[in-house]
Amino acid sequence: MSLLSIYLIAFVALEHLYFLILEMFFWTKPKGIKAFGLKSKQFAEDTKVLAANQGLYNGFLAAGLVLSIIQENNSFALFFLICVIIAGMYGAYYTKQIKLFYIQSIPAILAILSLLVNII
């Protein structure tokens, strides 16, 4: 695993750790409401359990990516990066917010490309 791959994977992991924090702890706060473009404070309150669960899944993605770095396991990294890409595509498609694809999927795609260049 190259240094570039490690940096890119770590960046994606940090993004998902940040998403965990936003979704689990700031969903009903102004920062979370603004970050996710929520309709209202009441909507945020009504959906905070769902958001916390979503945040937990982002934490699992981050943990898997960190583990792949620690173990220098390209297969693990590819699996979790592909999961991130799919999540970003799904989110962008169903929310009609292309920025989700750019924020979530593009860094993961770059990390995969760096891994593949290193493997070949």
Give residue-wise pLDDT tens across range 37-65. Answer: 888 999 999 999 999 999 999 999 999 99
Please state the length of the chain.
Answer: 120
Rg (CA), the chain: 15
**Tokens coding 7:** 């940096």
Q: What is the mean pLDDT of residues 94-117?
A: 93
CA atoms within 13 A on the CB side of 34: 3
Report the pLDDT value the prediction gives residue 24, as an integer from 0 to 100. 96
Q: What is the mean pLDDT of residues 95-109?
A: 92
Q: Kindly state the helix (H) or strand (E) to which residue 79 belongs, with its residue range.
A: helix 74-95
50 neighbors 28 (Cβ within 8 angstroms): no
Report the pLDDT value the prediction gives residue 96, as an integer from 0 to 100. 85
Q: What digits encode the pLDDT tens for the residues 64-80? A: 999 999 999 999 999 99
**Tokens coding 55:** 């945040």
Q: What digits encode the pLDDT tens for the residues 82-96? A: 999 999 999 899 888
Report the pLDDT value the prediction gives residue 37, as an integer from 0 to 100. 87
Higher pLDDT, 116 or 120: 116
Q: Give the DSSP letter string of 3-69.
A: HHHHHHHHHHHHHHHHHHHHHHHSTTSHHHHHHTT-S-HHHHHHHHHHHHHHHHHHHHHHHHHHHHH
pTM (2 d.p.): 0.91
